[in-house]
Chain A
Amino acid sequence: MEFIETLLNGLSIGSTYAIIALGYTMVYGIAKMLNFAHGDVIMVGGYMIFLSLTSVGNPILGLLAAVLFCVLLGISIEKVAYKPLRGASPLAVLITAIGVSYLLQSTAQIIFGSAPKMVVVADFGNLTVGELTIPYYMLITLGCSVVIMLALSLFVKYTRTGRAMIAVSEDKGAAQLMGINVNAIITITFAIGSGLAAFAGFFMLMKSPSLSNTLGAMPGIKAFTAAVIGGIGSIPGAMVGGILMGVVEAISLTIPAIAPYTDAIEFLVLIVILLFRPSGILGKVRREKV
């Protein structure tokens, strides 16, 4: 029974990582850059939820406001910080992304102070089935994540824009020759990734109500790790990597001897997997034929 609870906990943590990892992996696949400010968009989403809860008090409205704001934020970050650097060296883009990350954290600190805020999204209670006690927030996180991942997969596979995203990620030049506006596709990708970050912020606050300007830092790094484990650039890879990280984390936390080293163990998983599969679990090994 306890194991099932642990597993469900792992799946819910993992699906949150997966939702964040999707943002990293899609942006990497399409813009070929690591958006290290992605984790901080989660934090901004968290503060939007906080503001909405204190003013309106409705968590669903809070989530919607956070999604909307993060989408606009993501688009603006791309326009202002990254777009002028298209064609610049990857190092310049990387340092800019780190700069944006600090900018977001510092701005949040100036506006909201450095003391963590308590953000109780709602008290959802527990579901009890026989001896099994499952907090509802876990089921909500899991359910929402599954729907999001399914919708995203269908979107990419079956819509005109989704297919254009695949084309751009594979060959920007050839995509342009099809008449695809690559800049527009990059903007859409940032919008989707940032919207997902807002969902992740909501899931995280449901699980633990403490909100500070570094809310997104650690989950951001772990989700990035998840994206690399799954194979950066691969959408199913981000999902698999995220879930794997979450389950490892949940299991490790229940074993007293290794619980304090949980973070280290998660990164160890990365190292081990990369030793055997350098491009990640579902990473692309390019086949080429002449």
Chain B
Amino acid sequence: MALLEVKDLEVYYGVIRALKGISFEVEKGEIVTLIGANGAGKTTTMQSVIGLIPARHGKVIFDGRDITKTPCHKIVHLGMSQVPEGRRVFQELTVYENLMMGAYSQKDNNSFKEDIDRIYERFPRLAERRNQIAGTLSGGEQQMLAMGRALMSHPKLLMLDEPSMGLSPILVDQVFEIIKDINRDGTTILLVEQNAGKSLAISDRAYVLETGDIVLSGTGAELAASDQVKKAYLGG
């Protein structure tokens, strides 16, 4: 059984149909990517799956449980976590306090110390800046913080929305390395990216989203080799 199963998901903004009934799955242990141009509905999909935007029709099943109508904060407690588009770290809190917020859903916080040490180990930059106000971090550091924060809740499924956006090429490579690492340590990943080349290279499977519809799917390698994808997303 898939860890995440999305069936005929339809989302509206007022009268505009932003998602036209999409279906996809993420198996346990996979890295799955949704690629697509601006406005294709990638972020809408991510926000709808985690309960920030209500679905008009369709179903979202996570870990065998129907979460279509479950509010976001409860879904997080079930083991889904998201690094939102634009990072959205808490600007006025310190790095340490941001990580603490990430652990908010952990009721008995016995492992807090270990968890935070694990994050500092993965992101040494955050350890150096633990007492710095998050708003004063660089874009790359904020991305690391957003990822660290999302990992503090021990997610079964980690969703990342455009983690490479606005980062320098070196940092982009670093971010994709970290995503691979996190996956190797046992976390299932659902990734949304405009950087199709790099994301397909690390993906087990991928879906292509175009104006609210899934138009293509396959393994990362298949899609990277497909003429349609090459033309539209890989610059020829």
Contacts and interface: CB of A to CB of B under 8 A. Distances in A.
Interface of A: 160, 163-164, 166-167, 170-171, 173-182, 284, 286-290
Interface string B86-106: 001111110001001110110
Contacts of B221: none
A180 B82 CA distance: 13
Contact of A179 (B76, B93, B97): B76
Interface stretch (B9-17, B117-125, B135-143, B175-183): B135-143
A99 B16 CA distance: 34
Contacts of B203: none
Contacts of A287: 91, 135-136
B104 A164 contact: yes
A179 B90 contact: no
A61 B172 CA distance: 63
Contact of A178 (B51, B52, B101, B136): B101
Contacts, number: 80
B73 interface: yes
Given A163-B100, A178-B105, A290 B92 contact: no
19 contacts: A166-B93, A167-B101, A171-B88, A173-B52, A173-B84, A176-B51, A176-B72, A177-B52, A178-B76, A178-B102, A178-B104, A178-B105, A179-B74, A179-B77, A180-B104, A287-B91, A287-B136, A289-B137, A289-B142
A289 B73 contact: no
Contact of B166 (A178, A284, A290): A290
Given A179-B105, A289-B139, A174 B90 contact: yes
A170 B102 CA distance: 15
Contacts of A166: 90, 92-93
A100 B105 CA distance: 35
Nearest to A289: B139
Nearest to B75: A179
Interface of B: 50-52, 71-74, 76-77, 81-82, 84, 88-93, 97, 100-102, 104-105, 135-139, 142, 149-150, 153, 166
B207 to A, nearest CB: 22
A178 B72 CA distance: 9
A5 to B, nearest CB: 39
Contacts of B91: 170, 286-288
Contacts of B137: 289
A177 B72 contact: yes
A290 B91 CA distance: 12
A263 to B, nearest CB: 34
Contact of A174 (B84, B100, B139): B84
Contacts of A171: 88, 90
A25 to B, nearest CB: 15
Given A166-B93, A180-B73, A174 B88 contact: yes
Contacts of B105: 178-179
A37 to B, nearest CB: 27
A160 B104 contact: yes
Given A163-B100, A287-B135, A289-B139, 6 more contacts: A166-B93, A171-B90, A173-B52, A177-B50, A288-B91, A289-B136
Contact of B135 (A160, A167, A174, A289): A289
A276 to B, nearest CB: 23
A282 to B, nearest CB: 12
A170 B92 CA distance: 8
Contacts of B50: 177
A77 B69 CA distance: 26
B88 A173 contact: yes
A23 B144 CA distance: 36
Contacts of B74: 179
Nearest to B150: A177
Nearest to A172: B52
B76 A177 contact: yes
